[in-house]
């Protein structure tokens, strides 16, 4: 069947590297795009069309990953990147109107934290925030039909789109998957380290099949740091997307058809 993942070895699909570009462009609106993760915080400056103006900056997520600690990293990124007009943030949890509702892999102080509002006050710029898988998908989906994005990193993120518009408050990673455990339990970073690549890939094949039966999506996109560990043959309606989409998708948070996610 076209949606079935196979455990057969395949040639790995290369992930694109961060573009090497200069910072001398001064035209149009400049967006600082931030990707907050359980192991790293990344940033890049984008022009009005969403093209990188700088190389990607990365800092290790602190052990005490509180709002104060992460905000300090983002403020430092802002100083390094130079002038910008607005900020887009991808966050690993459920976001509603710029407020954090879940943060499984970060500090509990994030719960009900008004990230967009507080970060805007800190930086003096308008800020838009969405789930990190949502932002990554915005940088990679076609915008036609039902599309599902899953991200494999510290945990497992997910985002569902209908004609390019994400469904809000979608948290698939913490839903039951197999043997009483969640998708994140079985496919997160700790599960990969404990089970090894072979078993992890077998679980991923099962997850892909199950997710298809749940959503009957038209296309599946797989991102995140551990997407590079995939060795199964993906179904024809699935593909790996670059980790850079997690930052480049930030420009699309400012599209007018996504205003309702922020206001």
The DSSP secondary structure of 169-224, one letter per residue, reads S--GGGSEEETTEEHHHHHSHHHHHHH-HHHHHHHHHHHHHHHHHHH--SEEEEES
Q: Is the pLDDT of residue 105 over 50?
A: yes
Query: Tens digit of pLDDT for each residue in 65-90?
Result: 999 999 999 999 999 999 999 999 99
- Fold observed for domain 31-131+252-261: Nucleotidyltransferase; domain 5 (3.30.420)
CA angle at residue 142 from 136 to 145, to 5 degrees? Answer: 110
Query: Tens digit of pLDDT for each residue in 4-17?
Result: 676 554 443 333 33
Query: Tens digit of pLDDT for each residue in 166-195?
Result: 988 788 999 999 999 999 999 999 999 999
Distances from the Cα of 29 to the Cαs of 46, 99, 112, 169, 251, in angstroms?
Answer: 9, 25, 30, 29, 10
If one counts every other C-beta atom within 10 angstroms of the C-beta of residue 69, the result is 16
- Fold observed for domain 136-245: Nucleotidyltransferase; domain 5 (3.30.420)
Average pLDDT, the chain: 88
Q: pLDDT category, 59, cuts 50, 70, 90?
A: very high
> Are the CB atoms for 82 and 23 separated by under 8 Å?
yes
State pTM to two decimals.
0.84
Residue extents of the structural domains in the chain: 31-131+252-261, 136-245
């Amino acid at each position: 069947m076209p949606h079935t993942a196979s455990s057969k070895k395949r040639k790995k699909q290369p992930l694109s590297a961060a573009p090497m570009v200069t910072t001398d462009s001064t035209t149009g609106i400049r967006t600082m795009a931030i990707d907050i993760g359980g192991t790293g915080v990344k940033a890049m400056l984008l022009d009005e069309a969403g093209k990188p103006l700088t190389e990607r900056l990365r800092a290790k997520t602190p052990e005490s990953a509180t709002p104060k600690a992460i905000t300090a990293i983002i403020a430092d990124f802002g100083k390094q990147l130079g002038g910008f007009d607005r900020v887009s943030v991808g966050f690993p949890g459920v976001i509603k109107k710029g407020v954090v509702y879940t943060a499984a892999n970060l500090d509990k102080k994030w719960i009900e934290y008004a990230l967009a509002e507080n970060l805007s006050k800190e930086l003096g710029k308008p800020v838009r925030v969405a789930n990190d898988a949502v932002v990554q998908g915005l940088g990679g989906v076609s915008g036609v039909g039902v599309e599902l994005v899953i991200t494999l990193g510290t945990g497992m993120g997910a985002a569902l789109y209908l004609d390019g518009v994400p469904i809000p408050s979608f948290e698939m990673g913490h839903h039951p998957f197999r043997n009483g455990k969640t998708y994140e339990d079985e496919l997160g970073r700790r599960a990969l380290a404990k089970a090894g690549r072979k078993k992890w890939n077998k679980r991923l094949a099962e997850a892909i099949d199950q997710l298809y039966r749940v959503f009957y999506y038209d296309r599946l996109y797989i991102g995140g740091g551990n997407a590079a560990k995939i060795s199964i043959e993906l179904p024809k309606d699935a593909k790996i997307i670059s980790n850079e989409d997690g930052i480049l998708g930030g420009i699309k948070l400012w599209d007018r058809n996504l205003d309702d996610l922020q206001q």
